[in-house]
């Protein structure tokens, strides 16, 4: 069979599958709806995750470290140490808070102004305020940076102001796992729905399959239209899931904007990116194909022509 | 072309449909398989068309022991033969053209050729104007002829027909048999199972008579003749 003929056969099988789906619109729509809903849930969770990451992107930058230098370290030495700290990979910004500046701020915010006046000298050390890169803000990265800095001879102690950020990252981690678990479970659901639909279709077309095999149709030939039907179900369900997500997003945009405003944030709800859409459509297509293949493999073999 | 050697077929229910059947059919020969219903005619044709496998013995078609053919080679084998059924086994929801085109489509023939060969096959059975009709809109005789057109569309080297005239009036039956004879004249081997003695007498071809699964007066020697094949 020439490649052109084979391509024509594929187009023919695809059009045939489309035609058969179109001929029973109600059944097709219900099947698509089930597949679409099954795909919507993991996609929605994924979207929640990306939006949570986007909404808290500002906070992650707030992860910072206070490096307290030993009392004898001068401001000049502190400036040199700050220069050195800036060269560490993963460090975004280093600010020197001098002892005098620290005292001023402390006097202003603590309310111990009068008591501090009684001190003859400034008891505060010079401090380096370090902001890590967002990409280097995982618990492991931060802990490594803290240990590195704490090992410097001039450093008295390093305080990591990031417990809450780490907790939040852990929550995101749980959410990520939830997304992949839901994707696996509901993907299996899509396989089952497509597989069962294809099984019924094979039983309905038993006579046709028998005759086709009778005149020499190979298993691949007989299977092909069913594989296309499965792929159409998968892709159609994915498109439906995408439409439902977009509808949900439109509904949420107003309330989310109000909430963001109350927090003084300009956060805007994000839809699926092009890449995420690709994963959704590609995943739907692949699941549809696989479900149809499993079903066709199982059921077509048992149909042999009888005369 | 076809060679059976001591072929027996016992169905799972224990019925022995064929017992120790041996014969040889040369290329381009037209042979009738006759006998009462239940004599094993259909079973014999099913073995040759590989719809059943023999319990004992060997069935050779085109020099190949088809009983030993692997499942994945069966479709290719079926494309070499044309099978005509008494109940014609047409796809009732497809027009005549699609039915006749099916063997060509599964064989992967290019479209222009499919159109040509379908029309040629329909022309041979006298149904050229009815390509777009559904089988149910045709008479029984016409349906049977669509089945024959489908069997010959793929230019098979062997045609196996099980009671192809069972539902036809005598005139149409003669016509169908003439059609088969024409195919045999161009080198196609034709094996026709029929219980219609008149037809056989009319055409006077070779006859394989089955009685309760056994051959009556068949070739005592199943080996092919030593003369060169046509």
Q: Residue A108 belongs to a domain with what CATH number?
A: 3.30.70.3040
Q: Is the pLDDT of residue B191 over 90?
A: yes
Tell me, yes or no, whether A15 and A70 share the same domain: no
Nearest CB neighbour to A221, from listed B46, B77, B106: B106
pLDDT in tens, A127-174: 888 888 877 777 778 888 888 888 888 888 888 776 677 777 788 889
pLDDT of residue B226: 46
Domain boundary at A120, A136, A161, which? Answer: A161
Tell me, yes or no, whether A39 and A114 share the same domain: no
- Considering only CB atoms, which chain A residues are within 8 Å of B76? 216, 218
Within a domain: A305: no
Tell me, yes or no, whether A107 and A217 share the same domain: no
Entry pTM: 0.73
Q: Give B226 to chain A, closest Cα distance, Å.
A: 33
What is the distance between the alpha carbons of residues B196 and B32, in angstroms, rounded to a whole number?
Answer: 10
Within a domain: A82: yes
Tell me, yes or no, whether A184 and A216 share the same domain: yes
CA neighbor of A292 nearest in space, from A241, A239, A237, A213? A237
- Residue of chain B with shortest Cα separation from A9: B108
Tell me, yes or no, whether A195 and A212 share the same domain: yes
Tell me, yes or no, whether A109 and A240 share the same domain: no
Rounded to 5°, angle at Cα B161 from B157 and B167: 150
Query: Which among B11, B42, B102, B160 is the top mutation candidate for probing chain A, defined by the most A β-carbons within 10 Å of its own β-carbon?
Result: B102
Domains belonging to chain B, first-starting first, are: 30-48+70-209 (3.40.50.300)
What is the distance between the alpha carbons of residues A233 and A198, in angstroms, rounded to a whole number?
Answer: 10
pLDDT of residue A223: 92
Within a domain: A173: yes
pLDDT of residue A307: 54
Tell me, yes or no, whether A185 and A36 share the same domain: yes
Q: What is the ipTM of this complex?
A: 0.83
Within a domain: A292: yes
Q: Which tokens is A212 given?
A: 């086709």
Domain boundary at A126, A142, A161, which? Answer: A161
Q: Is A210 on the interface with B (CB under 8 A)?
A: yes
Q: How confident is the model at residue A122 (pLDDT cuts 50, 70, 90)?
A: confident
Q: Is A217 on the interface with B (CB under 8 A)?
A: yes
Nearest CB neighbour to A211, from listed B91, B108, B109: B91
CA neighbor of B230 nearest in space, from B171, B184, B187, B197? B187
Tell me, yes or no, whether A154 and A174 share the same domain: no
Q: How confident is the model at residue A244 (pLDDT cuts 50, 70, 90)?
A: very high
CA neighbor of B51 nearest in space, from B11, B1, B14, B6? B11
When mean pLDDT is compared across A47-56, A187-196, B112-121, the lowest value belongs to A47-56
pLDDT of residue B228: 42
* pLDDT, chain B, mean: 86
What is the distance between the alpha carbons of residues A122 and B122, in angstroms, rounded to a whole number?
Answer: 110
Helix residue ranges per DSSP H, B54-139? 74-80, 96-107, 111-124
CA neighbor of B203 nearest in space, from B187, B179, B167? B179
List the beta strands (DSSP E) in chain A. Answer: 65-69, 91-97, 127-132, 155-160
pLDDT of residue A162: 64
* pLDDT, chain A, mean: 86
CA neighbor of A64 nearest in space, from A159, A173, A169, A168? A159
- Considering only CB atoms, which chain B residues are within 8 Å of A6? 108
Q: Give the list of residues 6+ apart from residue B53 with CB closer than 8 angstroms, or none.
A: B47, B67
Tell me, yes or no, whether A70 and A153 share the same domain: yes
* pLDDT, mean of residues A192-207: 93
Within a domain: A306: no
- The DSSP call for residue A138 is S
Nearest CB neighbour to A217, from listed B75, B110, B150: B75
Q: Is the pLDDT of residue B94 over 70?
A: yes
Work out the burial of residue A172: count CB atoms within 10 Å of its CB; fewer than 13 is exposed, 13-18 middle, 19 or more buried: middle
Q: Which residue has the higher pLDDT, A262 or A242?
A: A242
Neighbours of B221 (CB within 10 A): 10
Tell me, yes or no, whether A171 and A156 share the same domain: no
Tell me, yes or no, whether A177 and A53 share the same domain: yes
* pLDDT, mean of residues B41-54: 88
pLDDT in tens, B95-150: 999 999 999 998 888 888 999 999 999 998 889 889 999 999 998 888 988 999 99
Instruction: Give the structural domain span for A19.
Output: 3-58+167-300
Domain boundary at A120, A137, A161, which? Answer: A161
How many separate domains does chain A show?
A: 2
Tell me, yes or no, whether A176 and A41 share the same domain: yes
Within a domain: A111: yes
What is the distance between the alpha carbons of residues B96 and A243, in angstroms, rounded to a whole number?
Answer: 42
Within a domain: A307: no
């Amino acid at each position: 069979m020439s490649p052109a003929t084979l391509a024509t056969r594929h187009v023919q099988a695809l059009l045939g599958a489309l035609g058969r789906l179109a001929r029973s619109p109600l059944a097709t729509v219900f099947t698509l709806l089930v597949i679409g809903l099954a795909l919507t849930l993991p996609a929605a969770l994924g979207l929640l995750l990306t939006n949570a990451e986007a909404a808290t992107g500002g906070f992650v930058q707030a992860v910072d470290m206070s490096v307290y230098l030993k009392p004898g370290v001068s401001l000049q030495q502190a400036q040199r140490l700050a220069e050195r700290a800036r060269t560490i990979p993963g460090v975004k910004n280093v600010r020197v808070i001098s002892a005098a500046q620290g005292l001023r701020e402390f006097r202003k915010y603590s309310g111990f102004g009068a008591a501090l006046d009684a001190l003859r000298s400034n008891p505060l050390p010079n401090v380096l305020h370090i902001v890590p890169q967002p990409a280097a803000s995982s618990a492991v990265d931060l802990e490594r940076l803290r240990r590195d800095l704490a090992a410097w001879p001039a450093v008295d102690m390093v305080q990591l102001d990031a417990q809450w950020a780490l907790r939040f990252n852990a929550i995101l981690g749980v959410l990520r796992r939830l997304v992949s678990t839901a994707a696996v479970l509901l993907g299996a659901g899509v396989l089952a729905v497509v597989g069962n639909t294809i099984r019924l279709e094979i039983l309905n077309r038993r006579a046709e399959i028998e005759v086709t095999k009778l005149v020499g149709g190979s298993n691949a030939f007989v299977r092909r239209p069913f594989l296309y039907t499965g792929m159409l179900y998968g892709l159609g369900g994915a498109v439906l899931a995408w439409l439902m997500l977009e509808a949900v997003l439109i509904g949420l945009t107003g309330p989310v904007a109000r909430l963001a405003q109350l927090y003084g944030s300009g956060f805007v709800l994000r839809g699926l990116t092009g890449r995420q859409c690709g994963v959704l459509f590609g995943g739907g297509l692949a699941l549809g194909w696989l479900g149809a293949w499993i079903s066709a493999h199982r059921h077509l073999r048992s149909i042999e022509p009888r005369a | 072309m076809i060679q059976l050697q001591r072929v027996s077929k016992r169905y799972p229910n224990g019925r022995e449909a064929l017992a120790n059947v041996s014969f040889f059919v040369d290329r381009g020969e037209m042979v009738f398989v006759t006998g009462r219903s239940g004599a094993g005619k259909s079973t014999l044709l099913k073995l040759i068309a590989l719809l059943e496998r023999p319990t004992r013995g060997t069935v050779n078609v085109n020099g190949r022991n088809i009983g030993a053919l692997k499942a994945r080679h069966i479709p290719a084998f079926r494309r070499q033969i044309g099978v005509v059924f008494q109940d014609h086994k047409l796809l009732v929801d497809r027009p005549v053209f699609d039915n006749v085109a099916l063997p060509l489509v599964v064989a992967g023939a290019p479209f222009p050729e499919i159109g040509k060969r379908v029309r040629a096959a329909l022309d041979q059975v006298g149904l050229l104007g009815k390509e777009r009709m559904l089988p149910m809109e045709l008479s029984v005789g016409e349906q049977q002829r669509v089945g024959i057109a489908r069997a010959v569309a793929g230019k098979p080297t062997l045609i196996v027909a099980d009671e192809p005239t069972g539902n036809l009036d005598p005139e149409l039956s003669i016509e169908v048999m003439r059609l088969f004879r024409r195919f045999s004249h161009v080198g196609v081997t034709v094996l026709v199972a029929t219980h219609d003695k008149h037809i056989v007498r009319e055409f006077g071809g070779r006859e394989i008579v089955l009685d309760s699964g056994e051959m009556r007066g068949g070739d005592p020697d199943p080996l092919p003749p030593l003369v060169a094949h046509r």
